[in-house]
Amino acid sequence: KVKKSGKQFAVIGLGRFGSSMAVSLYKMGYDVLAIDNDLKKVQDFSNDFTHVVQANSTDENALRELGILNFDVVIVAIGEDIESNIMTTLQLKEIGVKYIVAMARTPLQMKVLEKIGADRVVAPEHDMAQRVAYNLVSTNVMDYIELSDEFSIAETTLPKAFIGKTLIEANLRAKYNINVVAIKRGRHLIVSPMPSEKFHENDVIVVVGDNNGINGLESLE
């Protein structure tokens, strides 16, 4: 897989949410350090990510030794053990980690995690790991739903190259194998835009297509 940027991710907790976040990020070509204090989990996933280590994430020294400060995004994916979840988030904040994503199972937990400084709190029942992962790595893709292994729907800001062009001129279907299903322009939503529709600056486009095409579009400025 082609690496898109040098962004480095650490995922703490290899439960359902953490492991699928780690898989998504790793599949997209990013370096992923996975941490779990359960040796069995560490063994199960030992070959799946860039590094998989056993550590207790509530231990500040252990986190420092892993060089946790060097990671751009650290995801705390501990659900059941609420105390570990909160303590880990707190330690990461204290250490000065740039961007912390925490996972909350209840609204109260969400409040607590926000209060202690998590940059993003996700609720695994509502937020699919795959989608959260995609959102974390891409700057212009705002939302993303995987329809199958190959096809997705994505909402993305219009690449500059297309400003002022019509759908025909942009030729996204031929170039990227994707279809524009809607254009969000300010408060207006243009569903099934005509081929003669011109893109405006600040348009947000909703596209459906294969993942390669969407990635290609996303890598445009």
32 to 71: interface string for ligand ADP, x by CB under 6 A = ---xxxx--x--------------xxx-------------
- Please spell the DSSP secondary structure of 94-106, one letter per residue: HHT-S-EEEE-SS
- Single out the residue of 10, 74, 77, 113 in contact with ligand ADP (rule: CB under 6 A): 77
Does 216 help bind ligand ADP (rule: CB under 6 A)?
A: no
Does 79 help bind ligand ADP (rule: CB under 6 A)?
A: yes
Does 149 help bind ligand ADP (rule: CB under 6 A)?
A: no
**CA atoms lying within 13 Å on the CB side of residue 133:** 25
CB of 22 to ligand ADP, least distance (A): 11
Q: How far is the C-alpha of 218 from the C-alpha of 221, rounded, in Å?
A: 8
Lookup: tokens for 71 = 């990671």
Q: What is the CA radius of gyration of the chain?
A: 19
Q: Which stretch binds ligand ADP (CB under 6 A): 76-84, 158-166, 171-179, 212-220?
A: 76-84
- Report the chain's terminal Cα–Cα distance, integer Å: 21
Does 132 help bind ligand ADP (rule: CB under 6 A)?
A: no
- The residue (of 36 and 197) whose beta carbon lies closer to ligand ADP is 36
Does 127 help bind ligand ADP (rule: CB under 6 A)?
A: no
Does 80 help bind ligand ADP (rule: CB under 6 A)?
A: yes
- The residue (of 81 and 146) whose beta carbon lies closer to ligand ADP is 81
Q: How many residues bind ligand ADP (CB under 6 A)?
A: 22
Q: Which stretch binds ligand ADP (CB under 6 A): 10-18, 92-100, 152-160, 173-181?
A: 10-18
Beta-bridged to residue 34, according to DSSP, are: 11, 52
C-alpha distance from residue 4 to each of 18, 80, 101, 187, 208 (Å): 21, 33, 21, 32, 21
Cβ atoms of residues 158 and 203 within 8 Å: yes
CB of 208 to ligand ADP, least distance (A): 29
CB of 49 to ligand ADP, least distance (A): 14
Nearest to 154 by CA among 87, 86, 217, 66: 217
